[in-house]
Structure 1
């Protein structure tokens, strides 16, 4: 089953960022996913495949009703 992410989701990654935080905000979706570190503000772009493997859990889901 494919995981569903939304812009604005807060996710916890398996590996921590060098700044000490491992919480990230999703800021772009597509074939690549852009995430922003909530500790230092660094922006990183990952392929969707690598991102889905690296996510430990979704802390806050920013669900948007598309009706």
Structure 2
């Protein structure tokens, strides 16, 4: 699965052409931050689970 601080790849790239996001908040909603431009998006956990493709880097690695 995924955890706070992990870098994830979403199914669709962001408008800035990057597709790497950092999870910065978890709860009922998940807040992610684009690692390229710094844009922050908040998604319901259910939507995040549908739109996430894979975990790129775990926080501890």
**When the two structures are aligned, how many residues end up with a matched partner?**
60
| Aligned-residue CA RMSD (Å) | 0.9
What is the TM-score normalised by the length of structure 2? 0.92
What is the TM-score normalised by the length of structure 1? 0.84
Unpaired stretches in structure 1, ≥5 consecutive residues: none
Which residue of 32, 36, 48 corresponds with 2:33? 36
Higher relative contact order (CA 8 A, sep 6+): 2
Show structure 1 runs of 4+ deviating over 4 A: none
Unpaired stretches in structure 2, ≥5 consecutive residues: none
